[in-house]
Amino acid sequence: MLFDGKLVREELLKDLKKKYKKIKVGLAVIQVGNDFASCKYIAQKEKLANELGVDFRLIKFDKINTKKLCDEIDKLNNDDNIQGIIVQLPIPNDIDYEIIRNRIDPNKDIDGVNDVNIIRLFNGSDDALIPCTALGIMRILDFYKIDLKGMDITIIGRSIHIGKALYSLLLNRDATVTICHSKTKDLVKHTKNSDMVITSVGKANFIKQDMVKDDVILVDVGFNYLDGKICGDVSKDVSKYKYLTPVPGGVGQMTVYSIYDNLLKAYKLGKKNDKKNIKK
């Protein structure tokens, strides 16, 4: 069976649109440079913002240094009309991303990459803003009522946005989770014994039939081009899965949706903090 990311997105959007009708929210996206893929991704974000009635603000720089970019983020941190901030990746190598991601107000950090949100996520806090791809995967699993309790899960990839975020999310749901990466000695030993394999390697045909067991759940986060066509990390020859997120049409459908899922939470966090300040 295929997990239909588009179906999940459309169903969840119905409820999200109702919630956005009652509020006024602003989202700022900072872009440095003119990366083609980034421009396309930003256009998708803006399109959904328009559907939801979100005030979408794109701030573009051909070139900027770390200090000046921090100054721009500070302006947005202090702007009451902006509830969410995203620094669009990739950014030039001469900008210190560690500084940038931690400059964003944690309660406006829609990408969930500030250390405060990482700690919140690790601790299972309801206030955590979760990286959008990881959040989208969890929304798909919940939509299809996948019981994660006690499940053996292998994640291939250890990025903040996907691997490490999913590790915490799945562990908090009582799954037994292993993270593998490029230095893992015997990858097949882990994947072959897993009830679920989540792959974000970025290599076409990376997961093959002999690497997984029967009735495995495969979550494919890969985005690759092979013979001029988009494909994931899971080979088309793999057939013994119970569930699979297709590429395209799977996880990618949920990533942009999750930005606005997070933006709604950021709006609520802002309101909660306002009430705390009034009490003081």
Q: Is the pLDDT of residue 224 over 70?
A: yes
Summarised one tens digit per residue, pLDDT across range 149-185 is 999 999 999 998 999 999 999 999 999 999 999 899 9
% of the chain with per-residue pLDDT over 70: 98
Per-residue pLDDT at 272: 76
Q: How confident is the model at residue 262 (pLDDT cuts 50, 70, 90)?
A: very high
Per-residue pLDDT at 275: 58
Q: Is the pLDDT of residue 278 over 80?
A: no
The two structure tokens encoding residue 53: 């009635």
Domains of the chain, by residue range, sit at 16-105, 132-251
Identity of the amino acid at 26: G
C-beta separation of 273 from 245 below 8 A: no
The two structure tokens encoding residue 268: 């609520």
Sign, CA dihedral 267-59-17-254, equals negative
CA distance 113 to 257: 17
CA distance 124 to 171: 9
Other CB atoms within a 10 A radius of the CB of residue 160 amount to: 16
Per-residue pLDDT at 37: 86
Q: What is the mean pLDDT of residues 35-48?
A: 93
Partner residues linked to 220 by β-bridges: 199
Please give the mean pLDDT across all residues of the chain: 94
Superfamily, domain 132-251: NAD(P)-binding Rossmann-like Domain (3.40.50.720)
Same CATH topology for 16-105 and 132-251: the answer is yes
Identity of the amino acid at 202: G
CA distance 247 to 230: 7
CA distance 209 to 230: 20
Looking at domain 16-105, its CATH class is alpha beta
